[in-house]
Structure 1
Amino acid sequence: MERLHTTVELASVTKHYSHGVTALDNVTIGFHHGTFTAVMGPSGSGKSTLLQCAAGLDKPTSGHVVVDGRDLTRLSERKLTLLRRDRIGFVFQSFNLLPSLTAAQNVALPLRLAGRLPDPELVEQSLASVGLADRAAHRPAELSGGQQQRVAIARALVTRPAVLFGDEPTGALDTNTSRDVLRLLRSLVDKQAQTVVMVTHDPAAAAYADRVLFLADGRVCGELADPTPEAVASRMLTLEESC
């Protein structure tokens, strides 16, 4: 049996905030290469903090975060910035596209910010991978909400990151459009072995993942493999009791 490579690993990660809140409490978890994990839990459970620490956007108070073989907690700010830029993709609920730029220019932006001359073929491939090869010259106002989120995903993928993090990436979309974006994420995992970690509150969205990781009060409270919307919703109802 092939040994699964761990793309992201959190080891005994704790995050305290100055106002006395413990957002993460000794969390140890791994995310394997080419898998899709949904992270769920009640409000204030630490979902977004887990994502931010895993992506190097926030520093844990203690513990270690390893991405693509690099321990983020041991990197200088400059090296951490370079790693985030080159090896970590992030998609938010808001699309964060620049309205004056075309879809292709928005996708190329991370390369330009890195001081690299964008390869038109690479930009085209990124747009094609999200089904928008024919929308390269369109500006955000000329695109639907779902298409804008697809551009945001293409932008996150243009550096060919080791992991793509999504913080409620379908939260601003209607049900049908959300389904399209989730199918896209599922396809990226199945066809391109992209590692995806997504925070969501929606059991139907979580069911697109290979597994669901449950958090409560900053702690891991179990996981569910091959999830269905019904199984996820049922686990959420009893989550705080079982943790």
Structure 2
Amino acid sequence: MNSMQAVDLTSVTRHYAHGVTALDDVSIGFGAGTFTAVMGPSGSGKSTLLQCAAGLDRPSSGRVVVDGRDLATLGDRKLTLLRRDRIGFVFQSFNLLPSLTAAQNVALPLRLAGRRPDSQQVRRSLASVGLAERMHHRPAELSGGQQQRVAIARALVTRPAVLFADEPTGALDTGTSREVLRLMRDLVDRQSQTIIMVTHDPVAASYADRVVFLADGRVYGELQDPDAGQVATRMLQLEASC
């Protein structure tokens, strides 16, 4: 496990209109090659943390460094390039184009970047999620879990420094969720992929190396090598105190 920080937030605050403070002086690092789950009650700032860390939203104050780049020093074009080349995204909805095959969906980020997709690169990305043999199937011919794995392969095809996942198992049944979570755990263990995942599910969080808890826009502690019971107990305590 690498001790370097893939993502580092220092004194990050994010204000919105009407006096809403979504993040309040948050300082936290995410080590390269680690799997972190971010949890907290509704309105705790989880999504804002993810958006600021991924360069999708600019903080009102503070510093965000991703893959050694200070996002505040990047103009819109350079920030777009960084997100395209060094950051991967997986969401609850798979966001696959129904008319394209699995391979074509995975190749899409390369095409959008004006690069000619390398068929071997696309195949390797699908193989990394166990779907090389389904590369010519369209989304309608795949299960929900397989569609999410295609979405993960698409996020990984540019070999990003960080993979951000926002409720990646939220639309899946229990068995399929575990399948996707085992895959994500394997990506960290075998390929040293850095993953930061927002989730509300204590079982999903138990696949991570650590869980960071947010409430009212602030960090309220963390758990290392968590189990689902510990996470659930901490969440109950956090919700009771809010």
TM-score, length of structure 1 as denominator length: 0.98
Separation in structure 2 between the aligned mates of residue 200 and residue 76 of structure 1, nearest angstrom: 31
Q: Is the 8 A contact 2:2 2:32 kept in 1?
A: no
Q: Give the AA of the match of 1:31.
A: F
Question: Could you say which residue in structure 1 is the equivalent of 2:84?
Answer: 85
Q: Which residue of 1 aligns with 2:174?
A: 175
- The 4+ residue runs of structure 1 with deviation greater than 4 A are 240-243
Distance 2:230 2:68 in 1: 34
Aligned match of 2:67: 68
Equivalent AA in structure 2 for residue 116 of structure 1: R
Q: Helix, strand or coil for the counterpart of 1:19? A: helix
**Structure 2: gaps spanning 5 or more residues:** none
Contact kept, 8 Å, 2:2 with 2:33, in 1: the verdict is no
- Deviations, residues 205-232 of structure 1 (Å, cap 9, x unaligned): 0000000000000000000001000000
Q: Distance in 2 between matches of 1:242 and 1:34?
A: 33
Percentage identity across paired residues of the two chains = 79
How far apart are 1:19 and its partner, in Å?
A: 2.3
Alignment gaps of 5+ in structure 1: none
Amino acid at match of 2:177: S
**Distance between the aligned counterparts of 1:58 and 1:92, measured in 2?**
16
Q: Which residue of 1 aligns with 2:152?
A: 153
Q: Is the 8 A contact 1:221 1:242 kept in 2?
A: no
Q: Could you tell me how far 1:3 is from its partner in structure 2?
A: 6.5
Amino acid at match of 1:162: A
Q: Decide whether the 8 Å contact of 1:94 with 1:172 is kept in 2.
A: yes
What are the equivalent positions in structure 2 for 1:1-243 lying under 5 Å apart?
4-240=3-239
Letter in 2 for 1:97: L
State the superposition RMSD in angstroms.
Answer: 1.1
SS of the aligned residue for 1:238 comes to helix
TM-score (norm 2): 0.98
Shift of residue 235 of structure 1?
Answer: 0.6
User: Which whole-Å CA distance do the structure 2 matches of 1:153 and 1:106 have between them?
Assistant: 11
Q: Distance in 1 between matches of 2:223 and 2:170?
A: 22
